[in-house]
């Protein structure tokens, strides 16, 4: 009894430390990984899977779990509603890190996983994969390598998405454009007057999410297309002339009214208010259902400059080896070719296995859904995101805020210089010392 209360008290203290991290950024914690003492507990043979059911995928997840349990007698998976978005899962996981009772598997997004890895809160899985003889070469390389940090992988890709260029075919026709997306941003600029001429009252040529809704994700494509980027390895490159040029391009589109920023561009697009948008592949199903016109999809402008996104599944560090092995068995099953097809067909995410597209079920599906095919074809042209956005704590929000300022007409060079400095500062103070030398 005495012991329990003392440990509870210590756990609480550690929790207080963890909260500072929580408050600073929902995605990461600066608490030491040793926070919770009770993490080792857990029922033998039970795998606790903390998921936010990305893309309202709870029924699919349950179906896959059923199959897993049938194939692995003695193992049970407990599916836990761990939040409504990736930030909430991270928050709940942080609480468990501080307070005990860790899950076996947790969903971690492209911006949350790295903090957990950096603080040794999720386990590297390469050895476990080798032991379980999982063929990692079948994973789409760009997606698998997103979780690579100092030569170790920390998660398996699960609910992965890329942005997609959506356009209103009816409006395209009216504007006299070919039935395809623009090759690059220059071509789009050339098209803009024609699109605008075809627009009705209250309609806009292009809509993009604002800075608090992942504009930083979509803009990455623009920056890359112009030859710039957010960073090279750990060095921020916002002040690179090409990045600045991209910023000025965005500002120009905003100034002449070609682009409008919005909380949820997909809603306006579905309502026919925007001629085209950049939006996650995850929205494909919803947009197709909501729109009362013919929806076209295309690669993002600029060849090979498509960022990836979404979430993977990771295994906590401080659980027993036996639990880790069971957990890995489960996530490998969850992301095998057959299941990734089941999952992605139900949600609109990308299959994470190369062999997935050869399965008859997927072939039939893509035949029926050419738009989904666009997304999968684009997978080959994806590029891993820049560290300054996904790996630096608070990176996405920081860049989003800067881009909002640019959109509102502030001097691009000044704003980007500020981003350089801030990113460098965060790296120096929060990341640098934890990197292996």
The answer to whether residue 70 forms part of the interface with another protein (CB under 8 A) is no
Residues 258-317 that bind another protein (CB under 8 A): 266-268, 270-273, 280, 282-287, 289-290, 292, 310
User: Residue 334 corresponds to which tokens in the numbers above?
Assistant: 């969850």
The answer to whether residue 397 forms part of the interface with another protein (CB under 8 A) is no
Beta-sheet strands, E only, within 138-214: 148-149, 152-153, 156-161, 163-168, 204-209
The answer to whether residue 161 forms part of the interface with another protein (CB under 8 A) is yes
Number of residues that bind another protein (CB under 8 A): 64
* Segment interacting with another protein, rule: CB under 8 A, options 87-95, 352-360, 362-370, 374-382: 87-95
HEC-encoded secondary structure of 61-117: HHHHHHHHHHHCCCCEEEEEECCCCHHHHHHHHHHHHHHCCCCCEEEEECCCHHHHH
Give the Cα-Cα-Cα angle 367, 287, 208 (nearest 5 degrees): 120
The answer to whether residue 76 forms part of the interface with another protein (CB under 8 A) is no
Which C-beta is closer to another protein: that of 247 or that of 282? 282
Which C-beta is closer to another protein: that of 76 or that of 78? 78
DSSP 3-state of 261: strand
The answer to whether residue 52 forms part of the interface with another protein (CB under 8 A) is yes
Candidate residues 100, 163, 312, 395; the one interacting with another protein per rule CB under 8 A: 100
Residues 331-370 that bind another protein (CB under 8 A): 347-349
All residues at 6 or more sequence positions from 357 whose CB lies less than 8 Å from its CB, including other chains? 351, 363, 366, 376
* Segment interacting with another protein, rule: CB under 8 A, options 82-90, 148-156, 237-245, 379-387: 82-90
All residues at 6 or more sequence positions from 237 whose CB lies less than 8 Å from its CB, including other chains? 228, 229, 230, 231, 243, 388, 420
- Separation of alpha carbons 351 and 342, rounded Å: 9
Q: How far is the CB of 106 from another protein (least distance, A)?
A: 13
Binding positions for another protein, rule: CB under 8 A? 4, 7-8, 11-16, 18-19, 22-23, 36, 38, 48, 52-56, 58, 78-86, 88, 91-92, 95-96, 98-101, 159, 161, 202, 266-268, 270-273, 280, 282-287, 289-290, 292, 310, 347-349
């Amino acid at each position: 009894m005495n012991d329990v209360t003392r440990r509870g008290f210590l756990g609480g203290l550690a929790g207080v430390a963890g909260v500072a991290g929580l408050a600073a950024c929902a995605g990461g914690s600066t608490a030491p990984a040793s926070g919770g003492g009770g993490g080792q507990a857990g029922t033998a043979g039970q795998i606790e899977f903390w998921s936010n059911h990305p893309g309202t995928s709870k029924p699919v997840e349950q179906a896959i779990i059923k199959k897993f349990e049938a194939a692995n007698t003695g193992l049970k998976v407990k599916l836990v509603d761990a939040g409504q978005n990736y930030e909430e899962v991270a928050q709940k996981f942080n609480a468990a890190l501080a307070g005990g009772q860790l899950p076996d598997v947790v969903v971690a997004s492209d911006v949350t996983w790295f903090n957990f890895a950096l603080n040794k809160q999720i386990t590297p899985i390469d050895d476990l994969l080798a032991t379980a003889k999982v063929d990692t070469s079948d994973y789409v390389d760009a997606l698998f390598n997103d979780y690579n940090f100092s030569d170790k992988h920390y998660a398996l890709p699960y609910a992965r998405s890329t942005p997609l260029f959506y356009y209103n075919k009816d409006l395209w026709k009216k504007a006299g454009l070919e039935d395809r997306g623009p090759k690059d941003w220059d071509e789009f600029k050339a098209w803009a007057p024609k699109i605008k001429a075809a627009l009705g009252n209250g309609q806009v040529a292009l809509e993009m999410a604002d800075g608090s809704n992942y504009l930083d994700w979509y803009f990455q494509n623009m920056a890359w297309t112009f030859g710039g980027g957010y960073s090279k390895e750990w060095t921020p490159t916002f002040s690179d002339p090409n990045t600045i040029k991209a910023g000025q391009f965005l500002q120009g589109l905003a100034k002449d009214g070609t682009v409008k920023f919005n909380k949820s561009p997909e809603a306006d697009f579905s309502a026919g208010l925007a001629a085209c948008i950049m939006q996650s592949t995850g929205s494909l199903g919803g947009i197709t259902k909501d729109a009362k016109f013919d929806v076209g999809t295309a690669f993002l402008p600029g060849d090979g400059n498509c960022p990836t996104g979404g979430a993977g599944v990771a295994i906590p560090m401080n659980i027993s080896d036996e639990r880790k092995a069971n957990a890995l068995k489960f996530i490998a099953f969850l992301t095998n070719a057959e299941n990734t097809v089941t999952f992605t067909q139900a949600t609109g995410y990308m299959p994470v296995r190369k062999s997935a597209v050869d399965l008859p079920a997927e072939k039939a599906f893509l035949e029926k859904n050419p738009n989904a095919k666009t997304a999968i074809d684009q997978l080959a042209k994806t590029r891993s995101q820049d560290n300054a956005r996904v790996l630096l704590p608070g990176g996405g929000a920081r860049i989003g805020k800067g881009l909002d300022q640019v959109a509102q007409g502030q001097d691009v060079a000044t704003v980007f210089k500020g981003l350089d400095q801030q990113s460098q500062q965060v790296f120096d103070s929060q990341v640098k010392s934890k990197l292996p030398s």
